[in-house]
Structure formats: C-alpha cells, structure tokens
C-alpha cells in the first residue's frame, strides 16, 4: 500500500484507476452478490474504517448529542456514498426528509439507485464543484456555491469528514450557507482535525496518526501539492468562523483519536452548534 502513496500527489490518475477498478469490481460482483444490501462494497476514498460501523457510530451521536427527531429535515453536506444516510433510512418517518449533496459522481449515483428508489424522502444531488482531491475537473468554485435549498429549512445539518478537505475561503462560504438554510434553534454537527496545543504537540512528537508536510498560519496540509487531500485547522480559526457566522458552539468540543489522544469520542474532532433565535 505504501508504494501507492505516490498516487496522492496525482488525484486525476488516482480517479482513473479507481473507475477502472470499480468497473472490474462491479462486473465480477454483478452475479451472485446480494445487491439489495444497503452497503456499497469495493468503495474507496471515503476514509478508513468500516462503512456500516462508522455510519452507526454517527447515527448514535446524532441521536444522543443532537436530539435528532424522526420528523426532522436533515442536510448531509458532502454525503459521499451514503455512509450516514443508510442508518437514517431506518429512523426518519415519511414526514421527515433527508437531503444530501456531493461532488463525487459514483457516490451520488449509488445513493440515488439504492436509497432514493426505496426511500422517497431521501434525495441526493450531484454538484460539479472543484476540489483538487475529489473532483479536479469541477467547474464551480466552492467559495461561490449556493446550497440548492430554501432558507430556514433544515432542523439538523451535518458534515462528516468534509471540512477536512476544504480550504479557508470555501469554509467561510459553506458556513454562511449553513447559517442561511438552518432553522432558528436548529443544530449542526461538523467534524474537523483541530490544531491546539495538545494536537500540535502530538504532531511534533510523531504521536499523531496523521502527519503533515506543510504548516500554514491557520492550517496544516498533509500534501502541499494537493491541499484538499487532508487539512487540519487551528481551533482558534475555526471558533472565529463559527462566531462570524452566528453559530453558537455547544461545549464541550468532543476531541477525536486522530492526534493520539487516549480519551476520545470518535476519530475526528466533533463540534456541535446551534443557530440562536
Ligand atoms: C472523506 S469523504 C466523507 C464522505 C461522507 N461525509 C462520509 O462521512 O461518509 C469527503 C467527502 O467530501 C466531499 N466533498 C469535498 N469537497 C466538497 C464540497 N465542496 N462540497 C460537497 N462535498 C465535498 C467529497 O466528494 C467526499 O465525498
């Protein structure tokens, strides 16, 4: 696997190989596999960890930390291959609604084909936004993108492992959009790799599970030539964005295990916030 690491510097080539791999994988699996299972196999690039287990883990965070309601209107920013949507299919009632959007074509295609056909209140949209890692040919800049939803519509918004792949000016726009489409008193759960004294020290001592090769004032990059591959942000910088966009952080921040912490809730750091009335 180490030998394949060079591909992280060549996202376009990585995607070509990925689609070739999927073509052969899907052809081999077309016969004999139970295609009714809501569990895409052979999927790459949504991060490490078991697809089902991570989905179930976050479903419990949504319920326990964000008081999710079966009739809620939910937005999943960067929904990927439906990892978080799958457990929600068993929870949301028909009066509730799930919306997910992403820039990753095969993920959205899978979700439409396997989830929306069975659960009509689950809707997925593909948007052609540029991201050097996930969509190098995208035409829309993430800093210009307007979420395709009306204002004050959602009760709950989440983005898991998405802002770890977006640059500062893009984050700024996405926070403005979150604030616009979230209802008053609505909750938001976002994950980050937060840089603070503990995590920065761990990185220095090589105790962190992620290494970074470029250190900017407000963020660290795993690969300088493909910034969107993995981005960690200074905690102070992230807190300022929340403040700027009128979202109140509900303490405590739930720090993750990525930086080598012994007490953690998840892998990445979780921030829950509320839009005040
Ligand atoms: C590590 S994956 C996580 C996917 C999903 N949230 C999950 O937890 O399974 C990162 C996702 O962010 C998406 N992404 C990157 N930039 C985006 C953007 N500007 N808008 C929406 N999604 C984006 C990628 O396409 C990819 O699906």
Question: Which domain does 94 fall in, by range?
Answer: 43-274
Lowest mean per-residue pLDDT among 13-27, 29-43, 63-77, 244-258: 29-43
Whole-angstrom distance, CA of residue 119 vs CA of residue 138: 29
What is the 163 CA–ligand 1 centroid distance (Å)?
8
Q: What percent of the chain has a predicted confidence (pLDDT) above 90?
A: 80
Residue 16 within any structural domain of the chain: no
Q: Which residue has the tokens 């938001």?
A: 188
Query: Could you tell me the CA-to-CA distances from 204 to 91, 222, 232, 261, 270 in Å, in that order?
Result: 43, 14, 14, 14, 22
Q: Read off the pTM.
A: 0.90
Look at residue 56 and tell me if it is in a domain: yes
**What is the predicted pLDDT for the residue at 43?**
52
pLDDT, residue 48, reads: 52
- pLDDT for residue 33 is more than 50: no
* Minimum CA distance residue for ligand 1 atom 21: 78
Average pLDDT over the chain, rounded to an integer: 90
Give the pair of three-digit tokens for residue 94.
Answer: 């028909």
- Tens of pLDDT, residues 106-160: 899 999 999 999 999 999 999 999 999 999 999 999 999 999 999 999 999 999 9
- C-alpha angle 270-275-277 in degrees, rounded to nearest 5: 155
Given a cut of 90, is residue 1 above it in pLDDT?
Answer: no
Determine the Cα–Cα distance for residues 168 and 210; give it in Å rounded to an integer: 20
* Whole-angstrom distance, CA of residue 82 vs CA of residue 110: 8
d(CA 141, CA 241): 19
- The answer to whether the CB of 220 falls within 8 A of the CB of 200 is no
Q: How confident is the model at residue 10 (pLDDT cuts 50, 70, 90)?
A: confident
In this structure, is residue 103 part of a structural domain? yes
Question: Strands 154-159 and 248-254, how do they pair?
Answer: unpaired
DSSP E strands in 83-210: the ranges are 97-102, 122-126, 154-159, 182-192, 194-195
The CATH number of whichever domain residue 205 belongs to comes to 3.40.50.150
Residue 51 lies in a domain: yes
DSSP 2: G
Q: What would the mean pLDDT of 36-42 be, rounded to a whole number?
A: 51
Place of tokens 């209802």: 183
Tell me, what's the pLDDT at 35?
Answer: 44
Sheet containing strand 219-221, edge to edge, reads 194-195, 231-234, 219-221, 214-215
pLDDT band at 264 (very low <50, low <70, confident <90, very high): very high
- Ligand 1 atom 23: the closest Cα is on which residue? 78
List residues near ligand 1 (CB under 6 A): 46-47, 77-80, 83-84, 102-104, 107, 129, 131, 134, 142, 160-162, 165-166
User: Which atom of ligand 1 lies nearest, measured to the CA of 166?
Assistant: 16
8 pLDDT tier (thresholds 50, 70, 90):
confident
5 in a structural domain: no
Is 4 part of any domain?
A: no
Classify residue 225 by its DSSP letter: T
Residue of 76, 165, 190 to test ligand 1 pocket, by largest number of atoms within 8 Å of CB: 165
Closest-lying ligand 1 atom to the alpha carbon of residue 47: 1
22 vs 168, more confident: 168
**Domain count of the chain?**
1
> Is 32 within the bounds of a domain?
no
Residue 6 included in any domain: no
């Amino acid at each position: 696997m180490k030998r394949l690491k060079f591909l992280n510097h060549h996202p376009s080539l990585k995607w070509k190989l990925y689609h070739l791999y999927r073509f052969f994988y899907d052809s081999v699996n077309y016969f004999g596999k139970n295609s009714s299972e809501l569990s895409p196999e052979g999927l790459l690039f949504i991060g490490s960890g078991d697809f089902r287990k991570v989905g179930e883990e976050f479903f419990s965070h949504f319920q326990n930390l964000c008081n999710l309601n079966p009739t809620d209107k939910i937005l999943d920013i960067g929904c990927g291959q439906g990892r978080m949507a799958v457990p929600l299919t068993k929870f949301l009632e028909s009066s509730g609604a799930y919306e997910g959007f992403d820039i990753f074509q095969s993920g959205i295609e899978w979700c439409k084909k396997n989830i929306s056909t069975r659960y009509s209140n689950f809707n997925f949209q593909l948007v052609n936004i540029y991201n050097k890692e996930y969509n190098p040919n995208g035409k829309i800049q993430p800093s210009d993108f307007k979420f395709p939803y009306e204002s004050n519509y959602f009760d709950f918004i989440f983005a898991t492992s998405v802002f770890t792949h977006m640059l500062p000016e893009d984050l700024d726009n996405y926070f403005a959009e979150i604030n616009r489409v979230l209802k008053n008193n609505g909750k938001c759960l976002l994950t980050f790799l937060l840089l603070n004294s503990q995590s920065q020290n761990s990185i220095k001592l090589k105790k962190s599970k992620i290494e970074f090769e470029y250190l900017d004032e407000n963020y660290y990059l795993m690969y300088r030539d493909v910034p969107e591959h993995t981005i960690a942000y200074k905690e102070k910088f992230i807190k300022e964005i929340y403040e700027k966009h009128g979202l109140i952080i509900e303490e405590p921040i739930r720090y993750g295990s990525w930086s080598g912490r012994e007490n953690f809730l998840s892998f990445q750091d979780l921030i829950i916030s509320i839009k005040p009335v």
